[in-house]
Structure 1
């Protein structure tokens, strides 16, 4: 059955919702099994311990880039119609938002997608942090924090079109993007061999990246076969988190669409992954300091994500895979913000005596 037939029989919004559910299940399961986490990857990078976490992130990122560029070359995707390329962007928002988001994910010990995945595994710290992230994201989108976001975003803007397309700016097309993805895949292979072979590291990392490409493919297919105006969107967690918050709190609720199915799909996919790996464990806060740390981090991530135009997945991988300029700036900001915050907040606690073992950073 074709997409056009599905749309004719069920309507665009329900086709999008089911598509979102399928992509979410795929992303949630593979991200849980591979322990995909940008925060863990940045810690390995800044501590020069290049191991499993950075190899998983590189596998995910390169798979998303390769998948999206192949879709473009085959005519199943057009990055020029996406919001990250076609609309006016904010360079100041991308840079400062990325820095804030990177700082926040260190404090909460996980980015937005990781918090949702850990919540499905019984982590109550991640659940509370995720709720605060959603509230802050909505406040930044249309609430009390919106004027701040709009002011910062207006400091330095860039026109939509080729000015936001990195491949166009450097004179390369989809073939150049594909080559770039293959280079990053080679880097992932190198770090994977250094850290040791792991089935779920490879299958999960690649599967997580392909879920990002699948989101682009499905929403683009619906937009091409619909008589209605349908936005082509990728996988992200800041906007959908705010949308689901309003769906619970407000009436009338936002319209059903891709995000309606995606967020629950990620949660359910992660639950299945936890069941397969026997990873479900109830966890809470150990003390008041930990709670304050997580709350502060969630607020920074919520505001930073809406300022940057997406979270670690939405801007970092989804936007990065189509080579949106602002997405790459936001991603760089996340890595830098994470490194600075780890240095200022966590590194002083790592000072040990000669009789104490050196602690290691581990992803939650």
Structure 2
């Protein structure tokens, strides 16, 4: 049988199978129930993990912007080491899951063969600058909302609107035509294990394990290299945050994975907005959360992993703030403070979507897959953050 005849026969077979399912009400009902139940499982597991994530961030003050601020202002690297520890744990854990064949990082959004390097650089830089103006990245914004910060509530809205405009609206036109069009298309996916699998006898799973242990281990060693870092909160923040990224890869890539969805007869990841394997990220999910709330009565509008993670982080942060009696209402100081937070939210929304993620999306989830673009985006985010602090210092000097 030739290739064309094979493809036609395969397509016909799938259509016949789909027709058989659609013609049998009992089978269709059971399929719908099973898929709905499985989607609910993914959503609730995500909410639970995000709840812990929010509570831990509220307690430990885990924050990329805060880590940069500590370095620039007082030369303290402890919060940055906490972030390094989280990256190391996430990378090692992801490598172990891939080595065991439990998940396939190639099916994540970060590891496509299309390397939009200009988008990573420009989007990452804008996100980093914006997170300084907005007093924190996407995850920190949610944590601050849970702690009673009304400024962060405005930042949330601005990120969400700007992100949706960058996904499908006005900003998307510029993103697609001016930034995403500048790209490199590789013959394989852009993750290091796939690119270097030849050195491991073409065994990509072994490459994922070895590179995950080496790169992740380097981050862990760098984090634990100073004795003053060894406090309960620092270890808690780094270890738990990294472990939650790994757990969410399992939830999305294993629990919610269907090799062949009975409704579409195609591979699918249930309860994800991207249709691919997802872990934590806090830019596009903020946009989808706003849309979900505005279109609540639309029955086609369903809860997803990203939306559940947003709700979980706010809830976890709020719960810990109440229990620890640290919940405090906080508002804006003046007009300039308001304008900075609004501008920061817009920059993070546009930058995060353009760079395919934020400090958590690219910096933790993306890096854990060892995608080339994630390292580029992360470097750009850090550079943008440093520039943001330099700008703030310049503004203070101008007022003196």
Aligned residue among 176, 188, 196 for 2:211: 176
Gap runs ≥5 in structure 1:
354-364
User: Structure 1 residues 212 and 152, CA, compared in 2 at 3 Å: closer, same or farther?
Assistant: farther
Superposition deviation, residue 226 in structure 1: 6.0
For the Cα contact (< 8 Å) 2:129–2:344, is it kept in 1?
Answer: yes
Question: C-alpha separation between the residues in 2 aligned to 1:324 and 1:114?
Answer: 24
Aligned residue among 197, 208, 223 for 2:241: 208
Matches within 5 A, 1:272-283: 272-283=319-330
Question: C-alpha separation between the residues in 2 aligned to 1:124 and 1:10?
Answer: 35
User: Once the two structures are superposed, what CA deviation does each residue of 1:121-160 show, in whole Å capped at 9, x if it has no partner?
Assistant: 0011111111111111111111121101112333422336
User: Structure 1 residues 52 and 351, CA, compared in 2 at 3 Å: closer, same or farther?
Assistant: farther
For the Cα contact (< 8 Å) 1:85–1:162, is it kept in 2?
Answer: no
User: Once the two structures are superposed, what CA deviation does each residue of 1:45-99 show, in whole Å capped at 9, x if it has no partner?
Assistant: 4457133211221122212112211211222221112221135341111110000
For the Cα contact (< 8 Å) 2:131–2:348, is it kept in 1?
Answer: yes
SS of residue in 1 equivalent to 2:225: helix
What is the CA RMSD across the aligned residues, in angstroms? 2.4
Superposition deviation, residue 203 in structure 1: 1.3
Task: Please say which structure displays the higher CA radius of gyration.
Answer: 2
Is 1:51 aligned to residue 77 of structure 2?
yes
Is 1:185 aligned to residue 230 of structure 2?
no
Aligned residue among 241, 251, 273 for 1:218: 251
SS of residue in 1 equivalent to 2:311: helix
For the Cα contact (< 8 Å) 2:39–2:256, is it kept in 1?
Answer: no
Partner of 1:240: 285
Is 1:82 aligned to residue 108 of structure 2?
yes
Aligned residue among 88, 93, 104 for 2:130: 104
Superposition deviation, residue 278 in structure 1: 2.4
Is 1:306 aligned to residue 332 of structure 2?
no
Matches within 5 A, 1:248-287: 248-250=293-295, 252=298, 254-287=301-334
Question: C-alpha separation between the residues in 2 aligned to 1:330 and 1:42?
Answer: 16
SS of residue in 2 equivalent to 1:297: helix
- What is the aligned residue count? 346
* TM-score computed with the length of structure 2 as normaliser: 0.80
SS of residue in 2 equivalent to 1:275: helix
For the Cα contact (< 8 Å) 2:42–2:256, is it kept in 1?
Answer: no
Question: C-alpha separation between the residues in 2 aligned to 1:317 and 1:350?
Answer: 35
For the Cα contact (< 8 Å) 1:30–1:205, is it kept in 2?
Answer: no
Is 1:133 aligned to residue 159 of structure 2?
yes
Question: C-alpha separation between the residues in 2 aligned to 1:69 and 1:350?
Answer: 47
User: Once the two structures are superposed, what CA deviation does each residue of 1:146-202 show, in whole Å capped at 9, x if it has no partner?
Assistant: 1011123334223366351133335572212212111111111124x23x5421221
Runs of 4+ in 1 over 4 A off after TM superposition: 350-353
Superposition deviation, residue 287 in structure 1: 0.9
The worse-fitting range, judged by mean Cα deviation, of 144-153 and 325-334 is 144-153
Question: C-alpha separation between the residues in 2 aligned to 1:143 and 1:205?
Answer: 37
Partner of 1:37: 63
* TM-score computed with the length of structure 1 as normaliser: 0.88
